[in-house]
Amino acid sequence: MALVNVANMVVLDNPAPFENPLQFEITFECLQALEDDLEWKVVYVGSAESSTHDQTLDEILVGPVPVGVNKFILQADAPDPKSIPQNDILGVTVILVTCSYREREFVRVGYYVNNEYKEEYDEEKGPPMPLDLSKVERTILADKPRVTRFQINWGDLSEEEENRQDSNEAQNNNHHQSQQGHEHDISMTSNGDDGQGFGTSAAPQDATVDAAMISAE
């Protein structure tokens, strides 16, 4: 059973200029006291052609996490345009928000993103290059998150059970890779338990995570 459930994620400042920071208001429920911090990560997919253009925009540790419902704002810098092929800055891509415990990812929330040049230009020639990023608007499809959950060992499994779980995960990953091939996939498919949105999660108490609980890695 998962000890942490992400109940909701709200995209703030959306739509926004491309160079603005990304902000996510995250609500999650902790069912049991955790020995270690949670690691949250924001990843921007720079190109559908290769994962080498992916950028980790921020990584933070949140903890100690009190039992109950917790809420905080995760803010990450905008992606570095120098690390994105010029032809891939505009159009549709993906932003991923992940959370891990003891270096094991247990939830991944993916959003499609559309970057649009707001000034008129000749459709045949395309926008002027290099792009004036102050004229690029970023719109995150906030109402259509793709939530994927993974089973992990929260510390309650024996070494034998953990090794068996690792073996099953490796087999699932190999099967998934053989189906998808080697092309980088921005369709957010996964071998976890896929869902189109967040499930409901009821909790009797509300403990808000304050700024002191968020520390840079």
Mean pLDDT by 10 residues, the chain (217 residues): 95 98 98 95 91 94 94 97 93 97 96 95 86 96 95 73 54 42 43 56 35 33
The pLDDT tens digits of the residues spanning 19-73 come to 999 999 999 999 999 999 999 999 999 988 878 899 999 999 999 999 999 999 9
pLDDT at 196: 59
pLDDT at 202: 37
Q: Minimal CA–CA distance to 148: which of 210, 199, 72?
A: 199
pLDDT at 49: 81
Tokens standing for residue 114: 């559309």
Neighbouring C-beta atoms of residue 169, cutoff 10 Å: 16
pLDDT at 125: 85
Tokens standing for residue 51: 């994962």
pLDDT at 181: 35
CB 61 within 8 A of CB 217: yes
pLDDT at 123: 84
pLDDT at 195: 56
